Amino acid sequence: MTDPSTGRRVVALAGNPNTGKSSVFNKLTGGKQHVGNWPGKTVERVDGQFAHDGEKFGLVDLPGTYSLNASSPEEMIARDFLVGGEPDGAIVVVDAANLERNLYLAIQVLEIGIPTVVAINMSDVARSRGLEIDADILTEQLGVPAVPTVARTGKGLDELREVIAASCARDGAR
């Protein structure tokens, strides 16, 4: 849903708890969202904005959730925004070291049909554990762009910004 007051495209930021969503949010928006390492840390949505090639985008940091089958108030906020809020696009942040567990939510978001980009975050942690995620294969398997990131350092976030801007471009958004 394009924000009627500003004309900005709105991008949802979703993911399991502890995947680095708030770190991605802060790096993309320049915000100061408190980063915590416990489930349910973000219990309400937080709004910000980022720009790419002169166009501004609204970014909505949703509470962490494991699925769209909501069972807590935080999960309901995430589900209701993704399913009923009609964002123009979504970034699903997954933990590269726990990819299998995180992909359940990513696939549910893909099934909604909104333009989606998967941010494979904490790829440095995965690499230190001997795990290497092939973003090209993940992109091919999911049918949407997958971008390796390290939000703590900002690595990959320029590419993420570019890919999400292209994914929910004015002529391609629903």
What would the pLDDT profile of 45-67 be if each residue is shown by its tens digit?
Answer: 788 999 999 899 999 999 999 99
Residues 6 or more apart whose Cβ sits within 8 Å of residue 158: none
pLDDT of 4 strictly over 60: no
Residue whose structure tokens are 């769209």: 68
Percent of the chain's residues with pLDDT above 70: 85
Name the pLDDT band for 173 (thresholds 50, 70, 90): very low
Cα dihedral 72, 15, 88, 86 in deg (nearest 10): -20
Strands (E), 16-61: 46-52, 55-61
Is it the case that residue 137 has pLDDT exceeding 50?
yes
Q: Is 86 helix (H, G, I), strand (E, B) or coil?
A: coil
Which of 61, 56, 50 shows the shortest CA–CA distance to 17?
A: 61
Residue with tokens 């985008």: 57
User: Using 50, 70 and 90 to split pLDDT, how confident is the model at 40?
Assistant: very low
The per-residue DSSP string of 110-161 comes to: HHHT--EEEEEE-HHHHHHTT----HHHHHHHHTS-EEE-BTTTTBTHHHHH
pLDDT at residue 35, rounded to an integer: 43
Q: Label residue 34 left, alpha or beta by phi (over 0 means left) and psi (-120 to 50 means alpha).
A: beta
Q: Does position 82 have pLDDT exceeding 80, yes or no?
A: yes
In the prediction, which pLDDT does 33 show? 57
CATH class of 9-167: alpha beta
Considering 40-49, 66-75, 134-143, the range whose residues carry the highest mean pLDDT is 134-143
Domain residue limits, the chain: 9-167
